[in-house]
A and B are shown apart, each in its own frame.
Chain A
């Protein structure tokens, strides 16, 4: 079964006191920002931790600093059934072998985005389809990828590169 992952801010997806228990705060749309009606997603085959770590690696290496990362995922099948369309587009991650794991949900209107929000909320609240990677775990994942030469320091943006160099005790100019 294929899954689709998206970075979220977990706390926004909890039920809110001023809303009904099953309702979803409109603030969650901040986690579902689209560009040209496209929503960036990452695909992976199963929810084993190793697969999730791959997605975390792809995302964390595009950032400017090392911080916790919240991932939520839904089954691709349920979005297909709702008529959500997808288009392939390589991810912008510096980890070359992971770029193909990226795709976009396309031609989204507000109704379809709201449908996606409902599935994400259900996944996070009821199906435990959520994983938070701590700062320490993100460090570990990135350092491991560097050691395995899946990632080159020089491919990281300058801020993240400097922080990784500090972490590794390398000379920083």
Chain B
């Protein structure tokens, strides 16, 4: 279990006053209609702090939903002064699991007054608990493998999640495929994603395909190819053109579909 969040916090903020100021800025930016008062916060007990945190994050414009706090998160929360762990460490965690790095966060949007140049990208993480669709999707695939050409219940789960988790959907899908140790499961997830309609507003689909194409298991790369074939956008074709697969049969297939799609 790594601790990129704490390192990041310590490096980014050597000035406690500045840190606190930025925390407030961030909070009030997220929910401007209900600004927080610092004095009130200081009166809260630990439990209330946690519950307020849950409330804040679930209302944020990032659509972050926190369903619970792991012991890990609590320890970070207690270790660093108020708000810092919320705003910055964004230690991506899932209860009982290790840290995950979801994505980089727009720096200026979160902390407009901070100089970020000394902070490497790797130290960003995001606190997110797994949305329900992840668990539902995995269960659906475990119950029934994804078969080419046949409807799978996972399609409905993803369609719904795409609407409900609009902001974080792509990040979660990418995380899931990166993290999933079972390559067959990862491949099925990519295949199901391929059945969603590609949209210019959903750039995650290309990122997901790139991750699939760079996977060590041919099954996942093949699923990435299949998804790109179904999406059939100009960008999808370009991605296929730029991919040189190590598997001869998949390479031959990619060459064939590039001609058909062009």
Contacts and interface: CB of A to CB of B under 8 A. Distances in A.
A7 B226 CA distance: 16
B145 A63 contact: no
A67 B192 CA distance: 12
A67 B260 contact: no
Contact of B151 (A64, A69, A70, A137): A64
A65 B260 contact: no
Q: Is chain A's interface secondary structure helix, strand, loop, or mixed overall?
A: mixed
Given A67-B148, A67-B226, A14 B256 contact: no
Interface residues on A, range: 20 to 34
Interface residues of B, number: 25
B253 A132 contact: yes
Contacts of A134: 229, 253, 256-257, 260
A65 B218 contact: no
Contact of A136 (B218, B219, B226, B257): B257
B191 to A, nearest CB: 9
A9 B151 contact: no
Nearest to A27: B184
B219 A65 contact: no
Contacts of A132: 249, 253
Interface string B219-262: 10110001001100000000000000001011001001100110
A135 interface: yes
Nearest to B225: A68
A101 to B, nearest CB: 19
B92 interface: no
Nearest to A136: B260
A73 interface: no
A11 B187 contact: yes
Given A10-B222, A11-B222, A136-B257, A67 B230 contact: yes
Nearest to B187: A11
Contacts of B249: 10, 130, 132
Contact of A135 (B187, B230, B250): B230
B261 A67 contact: no
A60 interface: yes
A171 to B, nearest CB: 21
Contact of B229 (A9, A60, A135): A135
A82 interface: no
B218 A68 contact: no
Nearest to A33: B145
A65 B222 contact: no
Contacts of A136: 257, 260-261
A134 B230 CA distance: 10
A30 interface: yes
Given A11-B187, A30-B145, A136-B260, A68 B226 contact: yes
B184 A63 contact: no
Contact of A66 (B149, B216, B219): B149
Contacts of A66: 149
B230 A14 contact: no
A99 interface: no
A109 to B, nearest CB: 23
Interface in A1-16: 7, 9-12, 14
A88 to B, nearest CB: 25
A108 B225 CA distance: 35
Given A64-B150, A69-B148, A136-B257, 10 more contacts: A9-B148, A10-B249, A14-B247, A67-B148, A68-B148, A68-B229, A130-B249, A134-B229, A135-B229, A136-B260
Interface of A: 7, 9-12, 14, 17, 27, 30, 60, 63-70, 130, 132, 134-137, 159
Pick the 5 closest A-B CB pairs, nearest first.
A63-B149, A11-B219, A136-B260, A11-B222, A67-B149
15 contacts: A9-B148, A11-B218, A11-B219, A11-B222, A11-B250, A27-B184, A63-B149, A64-B150, A64-B151, A65-B151, A65-B195, A67-B226, A134-B229, A135-B229, A135-B230
